[in-house]
Amino acid sequence: MCNILTKQNYFQYEDLQYIQEDGLAMGAPTSSFFSEIYLQYLESTKIFDILLKYHIIRYFRYVDDILTVYKNEVMNIQEELDSFNNITPTMPFTMEEEVNNKINLLDITISKVDYKIPFNMYRKPTATDIIPNDSCHPPEQKLAAIRCLIISLSTYPMNETNKRKKKCNIIKQILYNNKCDVKILNEITHTTDTQTQNEIKLKKKGGGAKFTCVG
């Protein structure tokens, strides 16, 4: 079954049919599953040795986005990138270094300020906005996108000033761009905050956290 899913990747463009020689089918339900298995395999067999070789202080990964923490004086970041690319030449890694003590990862900006690491909300220039209010999508789907932005503000470790600023400058602008009533923001925020507080109470009643190592 695995061989069929990874080898028989066909697609059609206009009137011609093609077979994909490398990689997984884009958009297939199984692709994310196999990608995670492969990346975990690389981490246990190849990447771990690279981290030791270059004295990487911290290594974090979410799906295919990797964040590493290192010291300039003890390693060469370009050599580390070359080592990553030597693992799988058909799957090249790219690198983005911090600029002005800041770096963007997923939808947050990580900064270094006075020996602290504050976070802020980040949206890519190519990021699309929420579903327009005048579309034919169900209301639940439109509200889910707005609620996701609010939850991000509630759960990310940002200071209150940044939260308020981002709520005004980003979420309200997104609502305005998509013909949504800005008043709905306060209603969803109140509901979301209540749900978050209830979840925190349930977690506290459940006892301390447990950690499991999976090898």
Please, which residues bridge with residue 111 across strands? 102
Backbone angles phi, psi at 201, to 5 degrees: -65, -40
Q: Residue 197 pLDDT more than 60?
A: no
Percent of the chain exceeding pLDDT 90 equals: 10
Side chain identity at residue 128, one-letter code:
T
3-state secondary structure (DSSP) of residue 18 = strand
From CA 156, how far away is CA 127, in angstroms rounded? 19
Q: Is the pTM of this model over 0.95?
A: no
Percent of the chain exceeding pLDDT 70 equals: 75
> Is residue 194 within 8 Å of 201, Cβ to Cβ?
no
Task: Tell me what pLDDT residue 86 has.
Answer: 92
Task: Tell me what pLDDT residue 45 has.
Answer: 92
Q: Where are the alpha helices (DSSP H) in 106-206?
A: 139-155, 160-166, 172-177, 184-205
Residues 6+ away with beta carbon under 8 Å from 136: none
Task: Among 17-21, 46-50, 208-212, name the one with the lowest average pLDDT.
Answer: 208-212
- Average pLDDT rounded to a whole number, residues 109-122: 82
Task: Tell me what pLDDT residue 71 has.
Answer: 85
The rounded mean pLDDT for the chain is: 75
